[in-house]
Structure 1
Amino acid sequence: MTPPEALRARALDLLSRGDMAGGIAGLEAHLAAAPDDAGAWLALGAAHAAEGRWAAAAPALARAVERGGGEVEARLAYARALVRLGRLDDAAAELRQAAAMEPPDARVLRELGIVLYDQRRHDEAARWLARACDAAPEDGRAAFALGLAHEARRDIAAAIAAYREAVRRAPGFTDARLTLADALASIGEHEQALGELEALLARERSHEKAAHNREVLRRALAEMRARRLLGKTERELARSALVVEAQLRRRDAAEAPAAGGGAARQVVRYTAPLLELHVTLDPARGPGGGGGVIEALHLALTDPERAARSEDDVFKVAVIGEDGRQAPVNYATGASLTFLREALGCPMTQASALYASLLQGAPSVDWGGATARLASVPGAAGRPGGERHGILVSRRG
């Protein structure tokens, strides 16, 4: 009879030479005689996993864990098999135990974060993945996974920072750069997104998806520049839906000092029965030195309560609800969404998301090189009524 040690050595040799069937059979024969060999159970589970036989790998790896084989290695391999079998709760439990071992293993921290992400426990996932990033400063995949968790938490700024870090750590990590470009485009940073795609294509000239996305972004950037009112003049403003449909009328203009002691700006006021629009112009940057370029736009509701009660029969804006149906909005919302869409040159869906963020308490939101925030301006000179409250959109930087 062949000694168990010889069976084990022969089985491992067969596995190293690619004879999976022979190696697995040899390990099973060895374990029949030496069932407490944790290392052999780990090797058997790994062999089944290499063949994609997860239902066979999991019990073998569970035996390795029970017998203390490999400690972190055994728990990590077992957790991976459990994930493949869809047993995410059990996988998370194994990874938590592995994460409690000292010193912490960065692979365990990362995979626990990924499992929690798959369970849609995004806040907890982000915490573990942040630990994984700290434990392995060059692990691009941990930073990428952290970005995904932050994006799922709707913290796009943190997501972009994590994706940037993933690209820094692993410049050839294609998915990280593609996802970074998508995230940048989602907040209107089309120029930066294009830069990331150009960098990717410089490394992989034949990457079809990156090339396609680059062309889409180029068109979107051109359309955004053509639509947005920031950077345009009063000529384009006069043709906008905001002015035309609300029948805003130009009333008066006044000079206002520029921030930092620069040249004075001109502030022009437009009015309609329920709206006021304050337009800040830089005269020095106007075509031919005249007219002025729009630096900021402030939309204010002169009677917010009435605007909120009134039906939007002017802008005819509809939003898509959580049930997928289109629903009309009131006049205040219709005016605000139309304003954001035209001031920023963004799609209506993006305008809705930005408006919702402001209403939910965000101090400001950035999109496409501009910032929107809730703000107040003084009332018209010499007229009662005090400040006007509304949305201010201005060029960033």
Structure 2
Amino acid sequence: MALRAQQFAQAEQIATNILKSNRTDRHAALLLAHALMGQKRGDEAIAPLERIARRGDDGEVETLLGALLCGAGRATDGIAQLRRTAARRPPYLPSFQELAGQLAKAGQYDEAISTVEAGLALAPGSVDLKYDLGRLLHETDQIARAASILREACAAAPGRPDVLNQLGRVLILHGDYAGAVDAFRRVLALYPDDRSTRAYLATSLFEQGERDAAETALRAVIRGQPQLLGRAAFVMAAGSRGRFFFSQGDVAKFLGGERPA
């Protein structure tokens, strides 16, 4: 309860007290790790997790340990730990995700993609792995393949806003603006105040030639959030059917309903 309430110091104290009486209490070690991570002190959880990991195969503990080792500047050790965990059977799928993420951070995108693909070979229905593969393919400009895998993920989990958002961004690059509009609108049906998604929607609408609808979306983006004016100006200027203004003052007037002089 303390952890869920983000009372990290209290959660740390509870976990520490348990570990004083039982240094190998798995649940207490995990609780301590998350509490310390919440205070940006995750490296202090490495030793307790290593004690638990030495006692036997535990995918959750080992995956968190690998992530913390990487976060503490020990990427070689962390990636090695994650590789060992991902090689175990039955598979612990989050280890594939964490390993792929750490490899991508290290610039090893080909191996990151291969890691997720290996996970999908073991669990072909995993939406999380398909989402991660789609993101990695997007980051490496494999847009057509990214769109294909993300469509599969959306078909399996049509209510996942993270998958829909990623699909929409890829579809913009793929030139499927109608598909992108549909994806972003589905996200906004769940989260109508998501201004970033609404800005992407405006981009898609501009590219479709629906300038009025796009500008209406941008007005909603900046309403009550003037710091987002630069984002709105960029969306208008970057689109092939957008508008360009010489000053942010003119942008503000236009999106506020006035015609600049």
Q: 2:50 aligns with which of 17, 28, 32?
A: 28
Secondary structure of the structure 2 residue equivalent to 1:17: helix
Structure 2 match to 1:160: 181
Structure 1: unaligned runs, 5 residues or longer: 223-397
Any residues of structure 2 matched to 1:1-397 within 5 Å, and which?
6-7=23-24, 9=26, 11-18=29-36, 19-31=41-53, 33-34=54-55, 36-49=57-70, 54-68=75-89, 71-102=92-123, 104-202=125-223, 204=225, 206-210=227-231, 212=233, 220=243
Do 1:122 and 1:153's aligned partners in 2 also have CA atoms closer than 8 Å?
A: yes
Q: Deviations over 1:159-217 (max 9, x none)?
A: 33333333334323332211221232234322111111122234645533355458879
Structure 2: unaligned runs, 5 residues or longer: 1-18, 246-261
Q: In 1, distance between residues paired with 2:219 and 2:197?
A: 14
Question: How far did residue 21 of structure 1 move?
Answer: 3.0
User: TM-score with structure 2 length normalisation?
Assistant: 0.68
Q: In 1, distance between residues paired with 2:131 and 2:224?
A: 27
Distance 1:56 1:175, change over 3 A: farther
Question: How far did residue 137 of structure 1 move?
Answer: 2.0
Q: In 2, distance between residues paired with 1:124 and 1:214?
A: 26
Q: Which amino acid aligns with 1:105?
A: S
Q: In 1, distance between residues paired with 2:90 and 2:42?
A: 21
Q: In 2, distance between residues paired with 1:104 and 1:190?
A: 39
Distance 1:89 1:113, change over 3 A: same
Identity among equivalent positions (%) equals 24
User: TM-score with structure 1 length normalisation?
Assistant: 0.47
Question: How far did residue 140 of structure 1 move?
Answer: 2.1
Higher helix share: 2
Q: In 2, distance between residues paired with 1:164 and 1:39?
A: 36
Question: How far did residue 76 of structure 1 move?
Answer: 1.5
Distance 1:29 1:89, change over 3 A: same
Q: Deviations over 1:277-330 (max 9, x none)?
A: xxxxxxxxxxxxxxxxxxxxxxxxxxxxxxxxxxxxxxxxxxxxxxxxxxxxxx
Question: How far did residue 101 of structure 1 move?
Answer: 4.0
Distance 1:213 1:117, change over 3 A: closer
Distance 1:87 1:184, change over 3 A: same
Q: Deviations over 1:203-260 (max 9, x none)?
A: 645533355458879x9399xxxxxxxxxxxxxxxxxxxxxxxxxxxxxxxxxxxxxx
Question: How far did residue 26 of structure 1 move?
Answer: 2.7
Q: In 1, distance between residues paired with 2:176 and 2:225?
A: 30
Secondary structure of the structure 1 residue equivalent to 2:148: helix
Larger radius of gyration: 1
Structure 1 match to 2:3: none
Secondary structure of the structure 1 residue equivalent to 2:23: helix
Distance 1:193 1:102, change over 3 A: same
Do 1:8 and 1:27's aligned partners in 2 also have CA atoms closer than 8 Å?
A: no
